[in-house]
């Protein structure tokens, strides 16, 4: 049956930025599809862990500063794989955003955003891919891109640079890791109602301009991304590699 191709029974997943919002939705969706999930965030993941255990799946939480470099990323993957009994799926969701005009954007804000949104993805994916290759059963790495992987945006130069980099990095990873049966794709969420987008939603002018352009006529919710994460993590997407999928209510179509 076709629906069996979407099952994740027995899989072991790692989701970063899993404490709330989109990351929590990804983690819960994977658990509902059958996967055990390791949760990684700089803040407490108890709420997400509780949701996953209520589904009947195994969950473990890890507190980590993903901007701390390669060693920190390696420890996250090692600890998560040890707790879960391996790793089959990595979701690189953790991200931050700093809003300043281009000519005023500080070095610290640039470095902080690049470290979390791009460098950590590289280091985590390196470590996870090595583990998947060692296990010999392939795997799925899912990066989180953005509308700014396709567009420039305003007031977020570090974020735009990082998300443009995610799209290209995902393609490179697909090229190099396909021979190991590791598929690498990315999700580009549209305008989703989360803590990161709260400043925009609270700005009446910006909020109206965004809604006027979305054919769906509404902001997305984290639940709108649950289907795509299961698809990309499951055997249903085994012949899909190196692609960035927009889930945007039609934003890019305008």
Please state, in angstroms and rounded to a whole number, the distance separating the CA atoms of residues 189 and 93: 11
- The one catalytic residue among 26, 159, 239, 243: 159
Give the span between the Cα atoms of 132 and 74, in whole angstroms.
Answer: 13
Is 243 an annotated catalytic residue? no
Tell me which residues are annotated as active site: 159
């Amino acid at each position: 049956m076709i629906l069996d191709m979407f099952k994740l029974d027995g899989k072991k997943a790692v989701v970063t930025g899993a404490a709330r919002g989109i990351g929590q939705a990804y983690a819960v969706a994977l658990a509902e599809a059958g996967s055990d999930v390791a949760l990684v965030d700089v803040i407490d993941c108890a709420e997400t862990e509780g949701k996953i255990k209520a589904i009947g799946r195994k969950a473990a939480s890890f507190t980590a500063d993903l901007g701390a470099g390669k060693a920190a990323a390696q420890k996250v993957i090692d600890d998560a794989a040890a707790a879960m009994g391996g790793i089959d799926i990595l979701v690189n969701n953790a991200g931050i955003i700093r809003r300043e005009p281009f000519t005023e954007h500080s070095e610290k804000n640039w470095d902080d955003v690049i470290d979390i949104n791009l460098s950590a993805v590289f280091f985590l994916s390196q470590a996870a891919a090595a583990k998947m290759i060692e296990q010999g059963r392939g795997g799925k790495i899912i990066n989180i891109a953005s509308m700014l992987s396709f567009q420039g945006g305003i007031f977020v130069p570090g974020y735009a640079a990082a998300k443009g980099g995610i799209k290209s990095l995902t393609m490179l990873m697909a090229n190099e890791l396909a021979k190991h049966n590791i598929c690498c794709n990315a999700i580009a969420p549209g305008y989703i109602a989360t803590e990161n987008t709260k400043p925009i939603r609270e700005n009446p002018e910006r909020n109206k301009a965004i809604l006027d352009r979305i054919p769906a006529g509404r902001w997305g919710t984290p639940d709108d991304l649950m289907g795509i994460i299961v698809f990309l993590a499951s055997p249903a997407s085994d012949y899909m590699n190196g692609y960035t999928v927009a889930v945007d209510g039609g934003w890019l179509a305008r």
